[in-house]
Amino acid sequence: MPPLSHLPAIITPSLLASIRGNAQLPKHSWYFIVGVTLSVINRPDEIPKVFNFVIEHGVGPTENTKPARAEQLQIARKLREGLIKSAAIAGMPKTINGLFALKAATPSELLDEPMGYSPSARRVEVYDMPSSQILCRGQKFFEKVYGKVSKRVMGQMDRSGTEDLGVVARLMYGHLLSNTKILTPAETSFVLLAGLIPQDVNPQLKGHLKGAISNGATAEEVRAVRDVVIRICEASGMVKLGEDAPHAWGWREDVAGV
């Protein structure tokens, strides 16, 4: 994609060092949270800065040494998987742009292509596993996220005016979100939070804030993810909208929290 040189920079080394130093964030999470947020706010050009920083300085929070190759590969895969999973809530176009921006900054030995092995094994699941098995896994993941209201939530989607919404949700949860070979259930929830907060969709965000805790995250971790995403959004120019700025870019109400 062409460089977006006319846009103001969002990411700085000091901002990344500050985020990396947040003791409430699991150390292998902050960089894909930032990467997903940048993708969702349509700033894929800033994602290479995140990747280059973590590859050179480590995941932190206090270290400042270049990771070994095995850890570099882990970092690259987690960042790619975060972008892949964000397609469920932000759409394929942004995932495509984010992945290609990341690829341009990634050494060839840290790529899982062409026709290479991805530890997600999604190609195997699509072509060699019964779809019922994948959909069942997705249903269990959905129920874990939404708990006792899961039937009501899925029922609402089935009765949205078209049953196709429920079908799409089942496909997303089955093939995309419930695959936890690269990102854990809690890390998957972090991706969802990073994707939802910039979009000003509190009804969905509230469910996934609770879902993150159901998926094994602590309340402190969830608050830390929320704070990091808001920091990136605000650095990009997002604001809380008032009655005098109905057409600006931002949030119509306070971002939901736990």
How high is the pLDDT of residue 249?
A: 66
Residues 92 and 135 in one domain: no
Residues 157 and 217 in one domain: no
**Own/partner long-range contacts of 1-10 (Cβ < 8 Å, ≥24 apart):** 1/44, 1/45, 1/97, 1/100, 1/101, 3/45, 4/43, 4/45, 7/43, 7/45, 8/237, 9/46, 10/38, 10/43, 10/46, 10/232, 10/235, 10/236
Residues 143 and 224 in one domain: no
Task: State the Cα–Cα distance between residues 219 and 250, nearest whole angstrom.
Answer: 25
Residues 80 and 146 in one domain: no
User: How confident is the model over 8-47, as pLDDT tens digits?
Assistant: 899 999 999 999 999 999 989 999 999 999 999 999 999 9
Residues 92 and 19 in one domain: yes
Task: State the Cα–Cα distance between residues 48 and 98, nearest whole angstrom.
Answer: 9
Q: Report if residue 59 sits inside a domain.
A: yes
Proportion of the chain above pLDDT 70, given as a percent? 95
Q: Report if residue 39 sits inside a domain.
A: yes
pLDDT band at 250; cut points 50, 70, 90? confident
Q: Report if residue 31 sits inside a domain.
A: yes
Residues 192 and 108 in one domain: yes
Residues 224 and 246 in one domain: yes
Task: State the Cα–Cα distance between residues 110 and 98, nearest whole angstrom.
Answer: 16
Q: Say if residue 4's pLDDT is above 70.
A: no
User: How confident is the model over 166-204, as pLDDT tens digits?
Assistant: 999 999 999 999 999 999 999 999 999 999 999 999 999
- Pick the range with the lowest mean pLDDT from 116-120, 155-159, 173-177, 182-186: 116-120
pTM over 0.75: yes
How high is the pLDDT of residue 2?
A: 45
Total domains, the chain: 2
Among residues 178, 199, 214, the one where a domain terminates is: 178
Side chain identity, residue 255: V
Q: Report if residue 2 sits inside a domain.
A: no
Residues 209 and 240 in one domain: yes
Identify the domain containing residue 132 by its residue range.
121-178
Residues with Cβ within 8 Å of residue 174, at least 6 apart in sequence: 131, 134, 135, 136, 137, 138, 139
